């Protein structure tokens, strides 16, 4: 086994400028790696969350379009009802109202889900880091 060199035995405080800078860079990279790993985990959760919101919004839009078409057809046939009567006009009108109510309900659900903050753990960690930096900062 080869003998240890002077630099391998030397403690960190005697490592010199290059040693200190490389240790600082290693610490910064480790910190960045940990934060990016946490952001990656939370981004998966955020993608699922936003996917659900997008799905609800798309279904609400489809129901809104169908409700609009049913409402237009119902109004057209209600005008025709003034000249003669058919019971199916009211069924069509009821379907339009149900579609519009369903679309409104899905939009309300999607709106409440938008209020949930994304990346809560990462933001909490960054706030803790900022507080730590404020309390442990040494005045020059």
Residue 92 has a pLDDT of 73
Residues 23-40 have pLDDT tens digits of 889 888 998 898 888 888
Phi then psi dihedrals of residue 56, to 5 deg? -65, -40
In eight-state DSSP terms, residue 140 is: -
Closest CA to 131 of 139, 123, 119: 123
Residue 6's pLDDT is what?
A: 46
Rounded-to-integer distance, Cα 122 and Cα 44, Å:
13
- Whole-angstrom Cα distance, residue 137 to residue 140? 9
Secondary structure (3-state) at 129: helix
pLDDT in tens, the chain (140 residues): 455 454 454 555 566 888 888 888 988 899 889 888 888 888 888 889 899 999 999 999 999 999 888 887 877 777 766 666 666 666 677 778 888 899 999 999 988 888 877 788 888 888 888 888 888 766 55
CB of 26 within 8 A of CB of 69?
no
Q: Residue 118 carries which DSSP code? A: S
């Amino acid at each position: 086994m080869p003998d240890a060199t002077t630099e391998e035995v030397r403690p960190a405080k005697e490592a010199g400028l290059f040693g200190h800078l490389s240790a600082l860079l290693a610490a910064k990279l480790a910190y960045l790696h940990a934060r990016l790993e946490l952001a990656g985990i939370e981004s998966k959760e955020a993608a699922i969350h936003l996917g659900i919101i997008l799905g609800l919004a798309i279904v609400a839009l489809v129901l809104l379009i169908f409700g609009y078409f049913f409402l237009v057809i119902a109004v057209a046939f209600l005008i025709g009802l003034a000249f003669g009567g058919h019971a199916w006009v009211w069924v069509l009108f009821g379907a339009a109202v149900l579609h519009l109510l369903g679309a409104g309900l899905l939009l309300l659900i999607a709106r409440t889900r938008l209020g949930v903050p994304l990346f809560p753990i990462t933001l909490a960690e960054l706030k803790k880091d900022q507080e730590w930096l404020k309390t442990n900062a040494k005045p020059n």
